[in-house]
Amino acid sequence: AQTVTQSQPEMSVQEAETVTLSCTYDTSESDYYLFWYKQPPSRQMILVIRQEAYKQQNATENRFSVNFQKAAKSFSLKISDSQLGDAAMYFCAYRSAGSNYQLIWGAGTKLIIKP
């Protein structure tokens, strides 16, 4: 069975600085998707970024980028120029590319932005 591990329960960063959130996963599959979702205090679950395992290139969405290391089974999220609105719980999630489409979630990392 696949598992997702986020080893940082909480991280803090100064506004305008850069922060990296860690995520590792375990799977025997070669084809899958990885996601970062953001959950602010409103508890809405918002997609931040998505990576397809068969793509070598790291995904980027504006200030958000990932460092995908397939061999190491690592999928970290880098947030550049942190803003107060980035404060949220960040969840890393895995999804098989096969027949089972449910998301498998990490425990989450709480990101605090210091003004």
Q: State the number of binding residues for other proteins (CB under 8 A).
A: 23
Please tell me whether residue 112 binds other proteins under the rule CB under 8 A: no
Q: How far is the CB of 96 from other proteins (least distance, A)?
A: 10
Using CB under 8 A, pick the residue from 43, 57, 71, 115 that binds other proteins: 43
Please tell me whether residue 91 binds other proteins under the rule CB under 8 A: yes
Parallel, antiparallel, or unpaired for β 3-5 and 24-26?
antiparallel
Number of C-beta neighbours around residue 12 at 10 A: 12
CA dist., res. 64 & res. 79, Å (int)? 5
CA dist., res. 23 & res. 36, Å (int)? 9
What residue ranges bind other proteins (CB under 8 A)? 33, 35, 37, 42-47, 50, 52, 91, 95, 97, 100-108
